[in-house]
């Protein structure tokens, strides 16, 4: 068995090299970009090792798993990102540990998140998740997301909801399409949001497979799982 710490350190160095290359190609500075380690399906011990290696942002997509890891890793000073589809019955829990929710995609969720954030005495950063699929309606394999034309109204709702802070937009590149084209559409949506809400300057885009395309299209937050931690078991999402 290899040493997990060494494996993670090597993977992190390789991801940093890729981000650096992408920044150089796009004429951007590495400091404009936040790397979020997506640790879903991996244990809290990995989160701890990544924290020791200098990672300070962690992403999770299921509440039960995220809540347990956030509790186990309390005291490490980590910023927790909730990046998965969010049911309203999980909102109370998520609002208790998440600093940023990337998957805000409907008014009912905004109301529930605001209510629970206030109850918890917290302010939760919110990104509007945008469905980038060519055919509207389906959020692409149930991945969720608001249609681009719904985003300005939803952003306005978040901005005026107590307990929430509108920070920007998030998307997952649809399968079977050039990620550059999809991320260019996301950037246009982001610019429209920023016209009305200048502080909402976050673009969460880019995963292990499409880092350069995301950086070239203005991504500020990358959500990287596989390239850091390895392939997840196929039966777990
Ligand atoms: C799992 C996940 C990621 C990370 O994907 P990788 O391809 O493993 O880097 C990013 N974003 C979301 C929403 C995810 O669910």
pLDDT tens profile 61-84: 999 999 999 999 999 999 999 999
In tens, the pLDDT along 125-180 reads 999 999 998 665 554 445 689 999 999 999 999 999 999 999 999 999 999 999 99
Residue 142 forms part of a structural domain: yes
Q: Say which CATH number the domain at 146 has.
A: 3.20.20.10
Question: Residue 177: is it exposed, middle or buried by C-beta count within 10 angstroms (0-12/13-18/19+)?
Answer: middle
Domain containing residue 161: 2-228
In tens, the pLDDT along 47-61 reads 999 999 999 999 999
Residue 236 forms part of a structural domain: no
Q: Is the sign of the CA dihedral 226, 210, 81, 13 positive or negative?
A: positive
Residue 233 forms part of a structural domain: no
Residue 234 forms part of a structural domain: no
Number of Cβ within 10 Å of residue 70's Cβ equals: 23
Residue 235 forms part of a structural domain: no
Of residues 37, 34, 35, the one with CA closest to residue 47: 37
Provide the whole-model pTM: 0.96
> 146: CA distance to ligand 1 center in Å?
18
Contact 169, 127 (CB under 8 A): yes
CB of 151 sitting under 6 A from ligand 1 = no
pLDDT of residue 136: 57
CA-CA-CA-CA torsion for 141, 187, 218, 53, nearest 10 degrees?
Answer: -30
CB of 38 sitting under 6 A from ligand 1 = yes
Residue 237 forms part of a structural domain: no
Residue listed under structure tokens 């090299």: 17
**Structural domain count, the chain:** 1
Residue 94 forms part of a structural domain: yes
Residue 185 forms part of a structural domain: yes
CB of 36 sitting under 6 A from ligand 1 = no
């Amino acid at each position: 068995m290899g040493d997990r710490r060494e494996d993670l350190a090597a993977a992190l160095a390789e991801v940093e090299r890729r981000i650096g290359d992408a920044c150089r190609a796009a004429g951007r500075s590495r400091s404009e970009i936040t790397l979020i380690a997506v640790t879903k399906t991996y244990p809290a011990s990995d989160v701890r090792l990544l924290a020791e290696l200098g990672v300070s942002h962690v992403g999770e997509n299921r509440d039960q798993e995220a809540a347990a890891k956030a509790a186990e890793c309390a005291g490490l000073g980590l910023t927790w990102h909730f990046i998965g589809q969010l049911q309203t019955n999980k909102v109370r829990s998520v609002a208790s540990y998440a600093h940023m929710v990337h998957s805000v995609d409907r008014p009912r969720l905004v109301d529930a998140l605001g209510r629970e954030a206030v109850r918890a005495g917290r302010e939760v950063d919110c990104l509007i998740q945008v469905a980038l699929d060519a055919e509207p309606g389906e959020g692409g394999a149930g991945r969720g997301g608001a249609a681009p034309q719904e985003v300005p109204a939803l952003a306005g709702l978040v901005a005026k909801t107590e307990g929430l802070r509108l920070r920007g937009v998030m998307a997952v590149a649809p399968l079977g399409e050039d990620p550059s084209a999809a991320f260019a559409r996301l950037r246009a949506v982001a610019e429209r949001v920023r016209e009305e809400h200048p502080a909402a300057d976050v673009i969460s885009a880019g995963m292990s497979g499409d880092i350069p395309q995301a950086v070239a299209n203005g991504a500020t937050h990358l959500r990287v799982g596989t390239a850091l931690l390895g392939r997840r078991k196929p039966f777990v999402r």
